[in-house]
Amino acid sequence: MKDLGLDPSRHAYDCLVRAVVSQRHFKDGMEILKKMKQNNLKPLDSTLAALSVSCSRALELDLAEAFLNQIAGYPHLYPYGALLAACDEMNITRMSNRV
């Protein structure tokens, strides 16, 4: 971030995580989250929500739920809906494998 002339702040990291997980993979966003923690920056709820949605899309339900559990009071339901949709998809996949 410093190479780009940005001060490492919660908001800068938040935007970076959301951009990365929307274009790449949740693991890349988790790497940025680690750097945030190294800089003693607590992630915003929107950062955790974006990571949760990305994990839900990758059917990494335990990680998605862990990120949601860290959210203090996020006003939007989308990350929770993404987790429930992924749970539904996992249930359908398991049931179709039994047939």
Other beta carbons less than 10 A from residue 22's beta carbon: 11
What pLDDT, on the 0 to 100 scale, is given for residue 93? Answer: 60
Host domain of residue 52: 2-98
Choose among 19, 74, 77, 8: nearest CA to 42.
8
What pLDDT, on the 0 to 100 scale, is given for residue 99? Answer: 47
Q: How confident is the model at residue 65 (pLDDT cuts 50, 70, 90)?
A: very high
In total, how many domains does the chain have? Answer: 1
Determine the Cα–Cα distance for residues 55 and 83; give it in Å rounded to an integer. 8
Helix axes 10-23, 45-57, angle to 10 degrees: 10
Choose among 63, 79, 62: nearest CA to 27.
63
Overall average pLDDT of the 78-96 stretch: 82
Q: How confident is the model at residue 4 (pLDDT cuts 50, 70, 90)?
A: low
Other beta carbons less than 10 A from residue 81's beta carbon: 12
47 pLDDT higher than 80: yes
